[in-house]
Amino acid sequence: MTFDILDILKKLEVNTTGVNPGVSTGADHWQGSGNVLDSFSPVDGKLIAKIGTAGKKDYEKVMLAATEAFTTWRMMPAPKRGEIVRQVGDELRKYKSELGALVSYEMGKSYQEGLGEVQEMIDICDFAVGLSRQLYGLTLHSERPLHRMYEQYHPLGVVGIITAFNFPVAVWSWNTALAWICGDVCIWKPSEKTPLCSIACQVITARVFARNNVPEGVSCIINGNYEVGEWMTTDHRVPLISATGSTRMGKIVGSAVAQRFGKSLLELGGNNAIIVSEHANMDLAIRGVLFGAVGTAGQRCTSTRRVIIHEKVYEAFKTSLVKAYGQLKIGNPLDTTNLVGPLIDKQAVELYTKAIEKGKKEGAHFIVEGGVLDGKGLEGGCYVKPCIAEAKSEMEIVQQETFAPILYLIKYSTIEEAMAIQNGVPQGLSSAIFTNNLQESEYFLSHQGSDCGIANVNIGTSGAEIGGAFGGEKETGGGRESGSDAWKIYMRRQTNTINWGSSLPLAQGIEFNL
């Protein structure tokens, strides 16, 4: 399969000449008076397009449009909002191949993964449509006679969304689809490394909103640098900030939002492990570890960083895994025969090489050597070789998250030891065990087992479905996005009591007679 990137960008209404305005409140209002941002592809190093970023005046215009739109949008019945989100999902279906290719070219993940990411957007729209008729509260029994109590949920207002480069469209959709049906309006600050994906999404969304006479400001994007994020996180007009990124970034965002008593939804770093039991199906385990470690070139927050292997099967599993790594095809992600694409940029390549150097200094033994790749067909790109090292769990480099395809193998003898190794890192996003032993799997899922927000049995650490709440514990931030009851973070809860009698009894039997 071949791709004409220029044709794809044209269909997505992204300009390749001049400067794309990177700030928008809807179909007709695009601007961007800040510095010009260049988007380079990690696939071949070429400049894709230029994007205008937000100045402070642009930001204020966006905030004004969003706050005004909220007064109208919140009054639309939730099922009507759901109908509009359904149309957004249908529009995404029309442009799935083009948007998937843009994700692949601007971010570097394989075309199959790009399509999968757009499918996640479609799926969350479908989920949100059903949810729009299920924003349930509770009816409670009052201790006072002739009183009724219930709980209901109201929209928050403006939701600020800060996303990372590795999922340049899906994470935005997880937030917006739910926030929209809850009655909120959204302002999106995408990663500076993947700005064109945000413009394409805004074009698609704005087209649907305009057809339905939705006021401009319900969906806004503001491309820019860290200053834009600071404006959002310190703005009292933004009651909720949903931020995806590093733990370092999350500490800054969480602290700033807490200072003004706002709400934050944080999806931060992961240092995910797979336990391979002596009772595992080895074919499944190899497949799960391989995709978890090298998918998206190790740049998923759920990427597998550590494999904790029982001593009885350690050597056999290591041999099979090394053989599987030898079959990996690395190259242009738009070539569907390649399984591994590039890292996002030169800085990521540098961090990768430094992590390998640090690992070797700490005593890690590399059984599949890493290195930067720059051979034929890889010119100008940011390609590296996925590598494997035997290591100790207490090594500093193993305790850290490196956003690159570096995998550490660790040996264990008892399930309790394996569990302690897995949980013995600051992060707590995703985890998995491969075992056909019922007691081991139940132990792994019990309160004594995995301390992560995601715990899987006989599947890897990557590939969460939108029906379940996504997020982690500890330095991963504690946030939950996407399915289950994650919608509640986008709303404020209110308890209501109605006295329909002719007297005024007080709670707890208190007497207050004049």
Outline where 26-77 has alpha helix (H): 56-73
**How far is residue 456's CA from residue 280's CA, in Å, rounded to a whole number?**
13
Q: How many CB atoms lie within 10 A of CB 115?
A: 17
Dihedral of alpha carbons 282, 432, 325, 322, sign? negative
- Scanning 329-423, the segments in alpha helix (DSSP H) are 346-361, 396-399, 415-423
Residue 35 has which token pair?
């510095």
In whole angstroms, what is the distance from residue 294 CA to residue 314 CA?
20
Which candidate in 267, 440, 475, 481 is catalytic? 267
- Active-site residue flag, 357: no
* CA–CA distance, 48 with 298 (Å, rounded to integer): 24
CA 350, distance to chain mean position in Å, is 24
CB 102 within 8 A of CB 12: yes
Contact 124, 173 (CB under 8 A): yes
DSSP single-letter state for residue 219: E
Please identify which of the residues 186, 220, 301, 382 carries the catalytic annotation: 301
Residue 461 in tokens:
């650490």
Task: Tell me if 129 sits within 8 A of 90, measured CB to CB.
Answer: no
Q: What is the DSSP letter of 249?
A: H
Q: Which of 263, 219, 256 is nearest to 241 (CA)?
A: 263
Q: What is the dihedral of CA 141, 143, 146, 152, to 10 degrees?
A: -40
Sign of CA dihedral 387, 391, 396, 399: positive
Other CB atoms within 10 A of residue 335 CB = 16
Nearest C-alpha neighbor of 196 from the set 167, 226, 168: 168
Rounded to whole angstroms, how far apart are CA atoms 243 and 266?
5
| Cβ(412)–Cβ(310) below 8 Å | yes
* Residue 379 annotated as catalytic: no
Distance (Å, whole) CA 239 – CA 232: 10
The amino acid occupying position 174 is W
Residue 402 φ/ψ, nearest 5 degrees: -110, 120
345, 409, 338, 349: which is closest to 384 by C-alpha? 349
Active site residues: 267, 301
